[in-house]
Structure 1
Amino acid sequence: MATTKSPLKGLSALVTGGSRGLGLLIARELASRGCRLLICARDADELRRAEEELRATGAEVHSTVADLTDAATPERLVADAQERFGHVDILVNNAGIIQVGPMETMTEQDFREAMELMFFAQLRMVLAVLPGMRSRGTGRIVNITSIGGRVAVPHLLPYSAAKFAATGFSDGLRAELAPTGISVTTVIPGLMRTGSHFAARFGGNAEQEYAWFATGAGMPLLSMNAGRAARAIVRAAERRRPEIILTPAAKAAVRLHGVAPVTAVRMLSLVDRLLPSSGNGTGPVQTMSGVQACERLDSRLVDRVTALANRAARHHNEPVPARLGRWSVPVKEGK
């Protein structure tokens, strides 16, 4: 593998949620810069495939099956990295889940799950790496948050609540660690074509929720090529940038919300009226994965509109519905 000249060469990186999607793409970029990698995820098969792919490029990579909602996991991961590499130079907090549906279909447990993985797990990972970074007087922490952590999006309330917490924590952490030599980069992505729409969880009128979410994730004017996003994130870590907002749409939304918050909320209210109703009355309902929702929807039109995102899922180790193998759509997308 040709290694890009980079200040990251030879450093060790721990990437959570590194088996698929954006996490895997970030791991690829770090490997291309000569980083030694420890990736973790819950799914052993996904993790094995990711490790094999990265090793095939010549990267030094190890993987660990881990549930970050277990409070003991972060200390174990950092101890594993220290045993293999001596210390952790770069922490990428990427692991996350997406729950899609109207508020009446969400439970308190949905919010707790989102907070545990996308806020408390990030917090615990930071607490685990900080002593070593402080003792060396250097380190890089990259927290993947979301546009949902700056502008609350209808039908994504558990996700937005957790991302708001993670974004606030990351901003404050950067300010406190600025004098220590440890940089904190807050990453605020908009929609990206990672293929994660198949791994998301959908409630209420699940098939219709899948249709709008997957369409947005696959539209070139609304979403960003995930490879470009990963390269931008790693460049930001190289340069120790405090914040990076990805996609023009996300930048516009943040600016609008900053200068005209009432107008922004009114616009989001209009968006909410266009989104599906719960479909099952009120109260919590059973959710399903994007793979299941896609299978049940069985819409060739949605498949065509989401062709770029579906192809990304295949390339980024995401789950893909079996029925999409029945036909193919030729797609072209620049790097």
Structure 2
Amino acid sequence: MTDTTHAGLQGRMRSRTKADVRGRIALVTGGSRGLGLLIARELARLGARVTICARDEEELADAAALIRRDTGRSVSWEQCDLSDGRAVDEMVAEVTRRHGPVEILVNNAGIITVGPVESLDVDAFRRAIEVMFMGAVRLTLAVVPGMRERGEGRVINVTSIGGRIAAPHLLPYDCAKFAATGFSEGLRAELAGSGVSVTTAVPGLMRTGSHRAARFTGRRSREYAWFAAAASLPLISMDAERAARLIVRAGIRRKPELVLTAVAKAAVRAHGLAPATTTRALSLAARLLPSAGSSAKSGETSGASEHAKGTRWTDRVATLGEHAARRWNEPGTS
């Protein structure tokens, strides 16, 4: 295929994607920062009528202003705690009243707790499950019946490589993402032929600045150091803007699954072919990570802002992640 032919094909594909999105009512959870903000921006750029939701009103207002600045399009926002079933129902009713029934749902909201299992308590797991699994379930069950009745709709569930391979020191996140992945895949099977498609997006590490929003336990400064570095290195993490474009494109084209980053794709294949070997590799990685220290079983967590002034090495390695955090509305970067 010549470069000219390839460019023409890409142009036609982009045009079809834009036509499929223009005027659609889209709802993006966790849309106030990071990947969710970028997915919302991409949908707005393509002409969707976008509502973003999150828990922090100030962050939502800032995100809406950023999207308007970048795209020239206004987005609506709704403050909502996805762990509150009544709040979810009220939000869906308000979006429907103001704009119409949700036609594109992106379940993206997430929370990250980083630390060894000895330093975690049950609440860390409960919070993760409530937001990343039950929150997605509540919202999906609220909008999918209408989609089925109309015979048209798209659900995009942003899970994680952590929902396929349980990375050490991220167990609450892993567990919630495993549940979300199973829900997404099973939902697609049940909705087959209904006109409602379900896409499971499985990103690896992305440079969104998410280390700024994470909570840390155990030896918190050391946990921050490795996590900030891993989420920032260009060889193992992906540019978040590109990831958002690919996720939106996959959802609009009704792809069943999208695995992002070469490292994540290789890891999924390796785990499928040799799960025992993968587990041994993860065990080695766990031994290289910080131990729980004196705060074991305390269950206490702290935000990244308490550890953001790391060592010179950490600051240097996390430069790209910090740049992304400043651009995409992550906390503690003003």
TM-score (norm 1): 0.93
CA contact 2:96–2:102 (8 Å) conserved in 1: yes
Of 3, 14, 20, the residue aligned with 2:33 is 20
What is the root-mean-square deviation in Å for CA atoms of aligned residues? 1.5
Query: Residue 60 of structure 1: CA displacement?
Result: 3.4
Query: Residue 85 of structure 1: CA displacement?
Result: 1.6
Query: Residue 284 of structure 1: CA displacement?
Result: 2.1
Cα deviation 1:147-182 (Å, max 9, x = unaligned) = 000000100000000000000000000000011000
CA contact 1:4–1:32 (8 Å) conserved in 2: no
Query: Residue 6 of structure 1: CA displacement?
Result: 3.2
Report sequence identity in percent: 58
Query: Residue 321 of structure 1: CA displacement?
Result: 5.2
The aligned counterpart of 1:124 is: 138
The aligned counterpart of 2:318 is: 306
Matches of 1:225 and 1:280, distance apart in 2: 37
The aligned counterpart of 1:145 is: 159
Give 1:165-204 correspondences, 5 Å limit: 165-204=179-218
Query: Residue 244 of structure 1: CA displacement?
Result: 0.2
Of 246, 253, 263, the residue aligned with 2:260 is 246
Matches of 1:241 and 1:62, distance apart in 2: 27
For 2:145, the aligned partner's letter is P
SS of 1:49 mapped into structure 2: helix
Cα deviation 1:53-90 (Å, max 9, x = unaligned) = 22333223111111111111221121111112221110
Matches of 1:141 and 1:285, distance apart in 2: 35
Matches of 1:58 and 1:12, distance apart in 2: 17
Cα deviation 1:29-58 (Å, max 9, x = unaligned) = 001100001111111111111112223332
Equivalent residues, number: 319
Matches of 1:189 and 1:164, distance apart in 2: 13
Cα deviation 1:176-211 (Å, max 9, x = unaligned) = 001100000001000000001011000000000011
Cα deviation 1:81-106 (Å, max 9, x = unaligned) = 11122211100001010000000011
The aligned counterpart of 1:5 is: 18
SS of 1:5 mapped into structure 2: helix
Of 47, 50, 54, the residue aligned with 1:37 is 50
Cα deviation 1:198-233 (Å, max 9, x = unaligned) = 110000000000111110000001000000000000
Between 18-27 and 79-88, report the one with greater CA deviation: 79-88
CA contact 2:81–2:87 (8 Å) conserved in 1: yes
For 2:293, the aligned partner's letter is G
Matches of 1:321 and 1:58, distance apart in 2: 24
Say whether 1:213 aligns with 2:227.
yes
CA contact 1:292–1:321 (8 Å) conserved in 2: no
The aligned counterpart of 1:318 is: 330
CA contact 2:54–2:80 (8 Å) conserved in 1: yes
Query: Residue 310 of structure 1: CA displacement?
Result: 0.3
Query: Residue 4 of structure 1: CA displacement?
Result: 7.7
The aligned counterpart of 1:329 is: none
- Structure 1 unmatched ranges of 5 or more: 323-335
SS of 1:6 mapped into structure 2: helix
TM-score (norm 2): 0.93
Matches of 1:55 and 1:219, distance apart in 2: 30
